[in-house]
């Protein structure tokens, strides 16, 4: 079941529109996104109410977003207002005007309702393993703090530590003076201290940061370390040390220079110093040395909530299942050759298991191998001739949930080189890896190359593979129900990287299939 849902997030810093085709497994395809930075939180922080100018801007934006949502054929339009409208003395008047003048019914949600929606999105996009996790969602007017695991939100709180609020109330110079930064930190420590104490008995083992400011800080830290801004921030891990280095750099720069920092959205440049103070202090107070980024937050949570109403779907559960569902969703969106891809995945994991003594990789690497094999041909959706290049691009930009940027790079590299050849440093996702990751990726690529060769005719001829490992050779004995000479030729044709990785000559032979009864006994052994 697919439902087109439009979510309007009327936040303290920005208004966002997300129109998405959502499915019952919790995956969805954005049809389009729109954003307008209104900075309502600044206005409310200074005067306690929305000015007529701010009100008119909010109404015009809401009216435009509603028209866009209806033009896109949304089955349902949901709109939620958060801290700034909730706290403004005349916020209720604006909500009435939304309905009367913009044709939009807006639900003003509490901080705890906001936290619940955000954590729903985190559960559906980030692998909370090990759990539980403490999640920080840093908006313009408020900070939501949540603790939970893949299935349960155990505790949450909402506090007035949004970056627009902190900046408007406490930062008076550009670049901020040491006294400005001390005021921000003092406020953050005073408010977060009791929350960190409240969270400690729940024993969180992971810290997840969501929403724009924390995401941009992580992207800036990654860009400073690697020289490249990651394509996706979801499940990006950054150390406290890296965030501290970014903090030290940006607080010395005026806003005009901060706008040019790689990874930072220019419209967030004025607010990012206060956000950086909060991020570093929060890691310290909650006792973590790194932060994991979640790219889904309130508006994605709103989509998932609306989808649950339509489908009665339970979108939480085991994190690995979320990754698998995300891979299958991308495969289906690309019109994959399912039988061939599943067969290659089966053969690749057989080869992985039966060469374990040589490569020594883990169960996590085996899972990546299976996903890479399922995805290896999706580029044919674009063009058959250069489909390996299109496969890599689709994987990089396919919004895979639950995978870190480096894991996406591994999948993209295997897809790029599954036909033949050795991964090259000139292919940026592979070139950015460290030596250990490159070695692992070469192993997985070699296994997929040979497995793909073993289904050369896309007929599933090879049912099983026996592997005999010698000091200078590896022999594959193919058990097949039908003629498998083409598959033997395909594997031999693709053996170059395999032989390099394992430092052994690869030999391939076909074993005559046994009678059906013996075959069943063999398969059940």
Residue 125 exposure: Cα atoms within 13 Å on the Cβ side = 29
CA 378 to chain centre: 20
Sheet holding 473-480, edge to edge: 462-469, 473-480, 505-512
Instruction: Say if strands 206-210 and 133-138 run parallel, antiparallel, or are unpaired.
Output: parallel
Instruction: Say if strands 133-138 and 143-148 run parallel, antiparallel, or are unpaired.
Output: antiparallel
Q: Are 339 and 458 in contact (CB under 8 A)?
A: yes
Instruction: Say if strands 28-37 and 290-294 run parallel, antiparallel, or are unpaired.
Output: unpaired
Between 135-144, 226-235, 318-327, 500-509, the lowest mean confidence (pLDDT) is in 318-327
- Taking each helix axis from N to C end, the angle separating 405-416 and 387-396, rounded to the nearest 10 degrees, works out to 170
What is the average per-residue pLDDT within 327-336? 90
CA–CA distance, 520 with 464 (Å, rounded to integer): 12
Confidence of residue 515 (pLDDT cuts 50, 70, 90): very low
pLDDT of residue 360: 96
Instruction: Say if strands 28-37 and 206-210 run parallel, antiparallel, or are unpaired.
Output: unpaired
List, for residues 278-329, the tens digit of each pLDDT value. 999 999 999 999 999 999 999 999 998 988 887 665 555 566 777 888 899 8
pLDDT exceeds cutoff 50 at 340 = yes
pLDDT exceeds cutoff 90 at 66 = yes
List, for residues 432-475, the tens digit of each pLDDT value. 999 999 999 999 999 999 999 999 999 999 989 999 999 999 99
What is the average per-residue pLDDT within 380-406? 90
pLDDT exceeds cutoff 70 at 352 = yes
Q: Are 383 and 355 in contact (CB under 8 A)?
A: no
364-386 in b/e burial notation, b at 16+ Cβ within 10 A? ebbebbbbbbbbbbbbbbeeeee
Residue 424 exposure: Cα atoms within 13 Å on the Cβ side = 5
pLDDT of residue 519: 44
Nearest to 133 by CA among 256, 237, 57: 237
Tokens representing residue 248 in the block? 């030290």
DSSP alpha helix (H) spans, 21-137:
40-47, 52-71, 83-87, 91-101, 111-125
Q: Are 420 and 316 in contact (CB under 8 A)?
A: no
Q: Are 207 and 136 in contact (CB under 8 A)?
A: yes
Confidence of residue 517 (pLDDT cuts 50, 70, 90): very low
pLDDT of residue 259: 96
List, for residues 244-274, the tens digit of each pLDDT value. 999 999 999 999 999 999 999 998 999 999 9
| Structural domains present in the chain | 2-109+302-315 (3.30.420.40), 127-295 (3.30.420.150), 320-524 (1.10.3210.10)
Count other C-beta atoms under 10 Å from residue 455's C-beta. 24
CA–CA distance, 376 with 378 (Å, rounded to integer): 6
DSSP state letter for 378: G
The pTM score is: 0.83
Residues 6+ apart with CB under 8 A from 389: 379, 416
CA–CA distance, 303 with 7 (Å, rounded to integer): 6
The proportion of the chain whose per-residue pLDDT surpasses 90, expressed as a percent, equals 80
pLDDT of residue 381: 86
CA distances (Å), 93 to each of 3, 55, 87, 89, in order? 32, 10, 12, 9
3 state SS for 148-177:
ECCCCEEEEEEECCCHHHHHHHHCCCCCCC
Between 175-184, 190-199, 225-234, the lowest mean confidence (pLDDT) is in 225-234
pLDDT of residue 311: 66
Q: Higher confidence at residue 498 or residue 27?
A: 498
Give me the chain's average pLDDT, please: 92
| Residue indicated by tokens 């956000």 | 275
Residues 6+ apart with CB under 8 A from 264: 216, 219, 220, 250, 258, 272
């Amino acid at each position: 079941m697919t439902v087109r849902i439009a979510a309007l997030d009327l936040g303290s810093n920005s208004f966002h529109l997300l129109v998405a085709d959502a499915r019952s497994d919790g995956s969805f395809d954005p049809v389009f996104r729109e954003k307008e930075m209104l900075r309502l939180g600044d206005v409310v922080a200074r005067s306690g109410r929305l000015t007529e100018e701010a009100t008119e801007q909010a109404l015009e934006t809401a009216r435009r977003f509603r028209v866009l949502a209806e033009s896109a054929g949304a089955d349902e339009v949901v709109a939620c207002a958060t801290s700034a409208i909730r706290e403004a003395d005349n916020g209720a008047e604006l909500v009435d005007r939304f309905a009367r003048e913009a044709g939009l019914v807006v639900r003003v949600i509490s901080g705890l309702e906001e936290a619940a929606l955000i954590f729903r999105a985190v559960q559906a996009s980030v692998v909370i393993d090990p759990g539980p996790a403490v999640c920080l969602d840093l908006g313009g007017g408020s900070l939501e703090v949540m603790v939970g695991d893949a299935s349960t939100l155990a505790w949450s709180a909402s506090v007035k530590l949004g970056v627009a609020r902190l900046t408007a109330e406490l930062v008076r110079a550009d670049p901020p003076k040491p006294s400005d930064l001390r005021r921000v930190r003092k406020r953050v420590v005073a408010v977060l201290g009791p929350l960190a104490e409240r969270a400690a008995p729940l024993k969180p083992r992971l810290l997840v940061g969501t929403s724009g400011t924390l995401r941009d800080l992580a992207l800036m830290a990654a860009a400073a370390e690697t020289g490249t801004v990651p394509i996706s921030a979801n499940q990006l891990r950054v150390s406290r040390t890296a965030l501290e280095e970014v903090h030290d750099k940006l607080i010395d720069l005026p806003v005009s220079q901060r706008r040019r920092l790689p990874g930072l959205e220019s419209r967030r440049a004025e607010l990012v110093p206060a956000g950086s103070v909060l991020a570093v202090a929060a890691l310290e107070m909650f006792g973590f040395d790194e932060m994991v980024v979640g790219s889904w937050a309130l508006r994605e949570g709103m989509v998932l909530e609306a989808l649950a109403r339509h489908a009665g779907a339970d979108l939480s559960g085991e994190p690995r299942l979320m990754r698998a569902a995300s891979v299958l969703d991308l495969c289906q969106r690309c019109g994959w050759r399912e039988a061939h891809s599943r067969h290659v995945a089966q053969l690749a994991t057989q080869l992985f298991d039966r060469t374990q003594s040589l490569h020594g990789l883990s169960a996590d690497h085996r899972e990546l191998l299976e996903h890479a094999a399922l995805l290896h041909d999706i580029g044919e959706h674009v063009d058959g001739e250069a489909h390996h290049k299109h496969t890599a691009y689709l994987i990089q930009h396919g919004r895979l949930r639950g995978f870190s940027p480096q894991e996406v790079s591994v999948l993209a590299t295997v897809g790029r080189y599954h036909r033949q050849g050795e991964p090259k440093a000139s292919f940026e996702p592979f070139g950015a890896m460290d030596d250990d990751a490159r070695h692992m990726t070469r192993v997985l690529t070699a296994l997929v190359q040979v497995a793909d060769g073993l289904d050369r005719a896309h007929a599933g001829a090879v049912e099983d593979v026996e592997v005999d490992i010698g000091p200078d050779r590896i022999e594959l004995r193919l058990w097949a129900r039908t003629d498998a000479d083409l598959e033997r030729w395909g594997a031999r044709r693709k053996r170059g990287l395999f032989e390099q990785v394992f430092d052994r000559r690869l030999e391939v032979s076909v074993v005559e299939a046994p009678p059906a009864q013996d075959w069943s006994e063999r398969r059940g052994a």
